[in-house]
Amino acid sequence: MTDNNPKECGTCIIVGVGPGLGAALARRFAAAGHNVAVAARNADKLAGLVEEIGTAGGTAKAYACDTTSEADVMALFEAAEADLGAMDVTIYNASGRVRKPVGEITVAEFTESWERSCLGGFIVGREGARRLGPKGAGSILFTGATASMKGFSNSATFAAGKFALRGLAESMARELQPQGVHVAHFNIDGGIGENGEDSSLRPAAIAETYYQTHIQHRSAWSHSVEVRPWLENF
């Protein structure tokens, strides 16, 4: 696959789109020629992004989707492919967290956080695999965090979900790589933002890393990708 060649691009489905990284991913893949399906619990909030991409000459459509609902995710994939064409990139960018001491976390809070960080990733990743596996091509990309590697204080729910998502991605990569499907997990190791000079990860810069990973030649595929701001300790 080569950059800026729409003839070789399919539909990119991005689940968990907000104004930061999700929007930047949509812009980058649309700029490369992909039709982009952007999904969030409230699709109305994505209207401006869809309009922006269209004004720039791309094609995007917004969909409402609860990532933890199997029915919602299956309907999303079916609708996106019917509206925009066959999918060749699936990106899971949703997560959930509760910032509390472990002794104060309820079972309901833990369950909801894990479902948004990991269960949703499984459902979305499974639907991507069901379509890309038979074709023997395409990418499934998962957004992780520092919490994918380290369990911090007052962050038990986030660590549990992100650790699990990383394990899911690794298992899928081993299963799907022989079929020609590229699965990658991204450790976003720092805060995302446009301010802060070198102390913040710029959304567009992260999105560029996702895109370059997607177009890697299969002789040099990456799976575990870390991005961090220049001033972040590691």
Q: What is the pLDDT of residues 147-176, one digit of tens each?
A: 787 788 888 888 999 999 999 999 999 999
pLDDT at position 148, please? 81
pLDDT at position 7, please? 41
Cα 163 to chain centroid, rounded: 15
CA distance 61 to 49: 9
pTM (two decimals): 0.92
Q: pLDDT tens digits for 127-153?
A: 999 999 999 999 999 999 877 877 888
Q: Is 64 exposed, middle or buried (0-12, 13-18, 19+ CB in 10 A)?
A: middle
CA distance 47 to 52: 9
Q: pLDDT tens digits for 72-98?
A: 999 999 999 999 999 999 999 998 778
| Cα R_g (the chain), whole angstroms | 17
How far from 182 is each of 21, 31, 203, CA to CA, in Å? 21, 21, 22
pLDDT at position 226, please? 92
pLDDT at position 84, please? 98
Left if phi > 0, otherwise alpha if psi is -120 to 50, otherwise beta: which for 4? left
pLDDT at position 184, please? 98
Q: pLDDT tens digits for 51-64?
A: 999 999 999 999 99
Quote the CATH superfamily of domain 11-227: NAD(P)-binding Rossmann-like Domain (3.40.50.720)
- Read off the tokens for 46: 């994505």
Bridge partners, 37 (sequence order): 13, 61
Question: Of all residues in the chain, what percent carry a pLDDT higher than 90?
Answer: 75
193 pLDDT higher than 90: no
- Please give the mean pLDDT across all residues of the chain: 91
Q: pLDDT tens digits for 26-40?
A: 999 999 999 999 999
Q: For residues 197-207, b (16+ Cβ closer than 10 Å) or e, as one string?
A: eeebbbbeebb
Q: How many CB atoms lie within 10 A of CB 168?
A: 20
CA distance 93 to 36: 14
Reduced 3-state DSSP string for the chain: CCCCCHHHCCEEEEECCCCCHHHHHHHHHHHCCCEEEEEECCHHHHHHHHHHHHHCCCCEEEEECCCCCHHHHHHHHHHHHHHHCCEEEEEECCCCCCCCCHHHCCHHHHHHHHHHHHHHHHHHHHHHHHHHHHHCCCEEEEECCHHHCCCCCCCHHHHHHHHHHHHHHHHHHHHHHHHCCEEEEEEECCCECCCCHHHCECHHHHHHHHHHHHCCCHHHCCCEEEECCCCCCC
Bridge partners, 91 (sequence order): 14, 141
Q: Where are the domains of the chain?
A: 11-227
Q: pLDDT tens digits for 195-233?
A: 767 777 899 999 999 999 999 999 999 999 998 888 777
